[in-house]
Each structure stands twice: as structure tokens, then as C-alpha cells.
Structure 1
């Protein structure tokens, strides 16, 4: 039961980002998606949400820059250029994103990047949780989560990831097969 509730909660979080999977895929659609995102950026509700997120992220931008610079330098999970490309899909104001990458580049150019302390990691995690609550306000609604069927949640998750793959994130399918901790019946 706990597993079903946990999965339902995870799928509920994803539901805020799900768009209809009925749109045609292809390289021409990426440009249309970019235009739609640009229009959404100008809409009042989205702009207000971006302002809320920016108010949380800006004070911790230096920690975020150190986090990513340390990851690039020591773990090698991504590169600066790859992260810049992926950051275009982040929910962040463009000037905040530019400032983040400017700080990150300064850390990388300086040489050795110090790891975040436990207290700094805690502050960063707390800010990310605040942002998640803004983007998915229903996440804490356990009564609502309990009403969702497992089939609905799985369908929702499938639509979410299908939309992301249609938008050109081709590494997702490979990661799902190899890196996600899913049981065999959920992978199939």
C-alpha cells in the first residue's frame, strides 16, 4: 500500500508538467514548442510563478553554481556545455540562468571547486523543495493521491515521458532501461 501511495504521489507531481501527447513529433515541432514556451513566459500566471521561483533561487545562486561546478569537475556526469543546453528547458528566468552559468564558469576557471558543506546542501535542498511545492501544489494532498488508481498514474507517467521524448530528449528511454530503479513489470 505504501508503494502505491508513493507512486501515486510521484505521478501527481509529474501531472503538472504533462501536456497532451497528441501533438505531432518531429524537428519542426521543436520550434513550435519554443514559440509556445515563449508565449507562456509572457503570460501573467506563469510570470508570477517565475517571480516566486526566482525569489527562492536568487539568494542561493552561488551555492547552486558551486554545486554544478563541483559536479562537473569531480563527478563528470555532465559537461558545462551539455548543462547549458539542458538548462534551456529549466523553469528559471533567463537572466537568472545566465548569472548562474557566469558564476559556474568563474568557479570552473578558478580551478579547484570546494564541495558544499552539509549545511549548504540542506539549504539548497530546502529551496528545491519550496520550488517543487510551487510547481506541484497538489503534492501534499494525500486524500487526492489516495483516490488515484495505479493504472491512471502509470498512464500519466507514460504520457509525460512520451512528451519529453517527442521534444527530443532521446536519452530518456535508455536511462529508463538501465538506470531507473523500476521493477520488471513496470519496465515492460
Structure 2
């Protein structure tokens, strides 16, 4: 996935560099080095993927059950994942098994922490002196767009959740905080949101959203879903 095409000047491929070496030969060596580096990174990533195999399968099965995504949407998105094909096939088989057997549940806080730590270690492997993988760059661009929308509606979302916690009573702050760790978005923005909610709860009465604000919230969520498709 880190392979880069190298163009060789000249019609016969016999151009030489300053040291008299054949450029075509050097390019072949360089490509082999890149492939070797890529394979070494993929091997390290695979070890981490196997460490969290059951946790990740449960994570995705829960998101599917919670209607945050579908099995086939996830399968399509997985084309951009940096993962060994064999491991990915086993992961999707396990996700399907969890769904079929009805053993799906939300991750515990400890499991979520372990998953987050693993993803952080994988990002470190990918960023360690290597050009950014196209799939990772695309994901980063996606998250930037999502974050832009999240920031637009930060105050509205904070009031929406604070009102539900204080007046509707169908969710608690602690439960929402646990769920927020699984939300798609930039961690810093989610932290700001939870801090705003806590501030509203500590204050006086919370004003419910009006119709315009509900529409703004719905529109923002629709735009985010369109980005993540």
C-alpha cells in the first residue's frame, strides 16, 4: 500500500545516474525496499489486530445492531482498511457470528480503552517515518469534515443532551459519557461537548430545543451520515 510508481526516463531504460548505475535497476531495488517496509509494518499491525480481534468484532457487531452502520456498508468501508486480507475475512466472519448468535453487547469501559490503545499503536506504526497511506489520508479528511459540522452544532447538541438527561430522564450523564467514547468524531470536540453538557446540568433550567434547532440538528446528522457513507 506504500508502493510508489517510479518513471524511468529514456526509451530503452538505459539512462544512468551520476555514479554510472542503471536507473531502472536502482528503481527496482527501491521498490523492493518499499514493499519490504510495507510488509514489515503490516506484520506489526496484524499482531495488534489479533490482540483485539474479539473486542473489535464485538464493537462492530454492536454498532450494526445499534443501527449506526450496516454489515454491507462496513464491508464496503473495509476496502480502505490497512489489514491483512485473511485477518479481515476472519473478523467479518466473527462479526456475523456475533449477530447470528445474539451475543452482541456494548463494550465495557476496559474493552473500549484496550481498543483505543490498539488503534493508537497502529497509528504510530503507520506514521513512523512512512508516507501517509492513502486510506488513512482519506479517513483523516473525512473526520475533518465531520468535526467541522460537529463544531457548528456543539451548543445545540449540548442543550439537546442536557435536556434529555435532566428532564426526560431516559439517559444519564455517565451512560452518555461511556457511549461518547464510541462516537465517530474528533476526541477533543467530543470532550468539549461533554464538558458543556456537564456545565448546563450544574446550572439552572435547561431550555428545550425549538423547531428550528431540531431541524439544524437533523440536517447536521444527515450531512455527517452522507460523509461517512
CA distance in structure 2 between the aligned counterparts of 1:29 and 1:98, rounded to whole angstroms: 19
Tell me which moved more, 38-47 or 59-68: 38-47
Q: Which has the higher helix share?
A: 1
- 1:40 is displaced (CA, Å) by 6.2
- 1:76 is displaced (CA, Å) by 1.0
- Match of residue 115 from structure 2: 33
Output the TM-score relative to the length of structure 2. Answer: 0.48
Backbone CA RMSD of aligned residues: 3.0
CA distance in structure 1 between the aligned counterparts of 2:111 and 2:165, rounded to whole angstroms: 31
1:68 and 2:125 are equivalent in the alignment: no
**1:122/1:132 Cα in 2 relative to 1: closer, same or farther (>3 Å)?**
same
- 1:79 is displaced (CA, Å) by 0.6
Quick check: 1:61–1:100 contact (8 Å CA) kept in 2? yes
CA distance in structure 2 between the aligned counterparts of 1:117 and 1:126, rounded to whole angstroms: 14
CA distance in structure 1 between the aligned counterparts of 2:118 and 2:158, rounded to whole angstroms: 29
Quick check: 1:54–1:96 contact (8 Å CA) kept in 2? yes
- Match of residue 203 from structure 2: 110
CA distance in structure 2 between the aligned counterparts of 1:53 and 1:108, rounded to whole angstroms: 26
Give secondary structure in 2 for the equivalent of 1:99: helix
Greater C-alpha Rg: 2
- Match of residue 73 from structure 2: 16
**1:131/1:22 Cα in 2 relative to 1: closer, same or farther (>3 Å)?**
same
Q: Flag structure 2 segments of 5+ consecutive residues without an equivalent.
A: 1-66, 76-90, 99-106, 128-135
Q: 2:191 aligns with which of 98, 101, 112?
A: 98
CA distance in structure 2 between the aligned counterparts of 1:34 and 1:69, rounded to whole angstroms: 26
1:50 and 2:143 are equivalent in the alignment: yes
Give secondary structure in 2 for the equivalent of 1:92: coil
Quick check: 2:163–2:206 contact (8 Å CA) kept in 1? yes
Quick check: 2:112–2:181 contact (8 Å CA) kept in 1? no
Quick check: 1:66–1:107 contact (8 Å CA) kept in 2? yes
Output the TM-score relative to the length of structure 1. Answer: 0.57
Instruction: Choose between structure 1 and 2 for higher RCO, CA contacts under 8 A separated by at least 6 residues.
Output: 1
**1:58/1:35 Cα in 2 relative to 1: closer, same or farther (>3 Å)?**
same
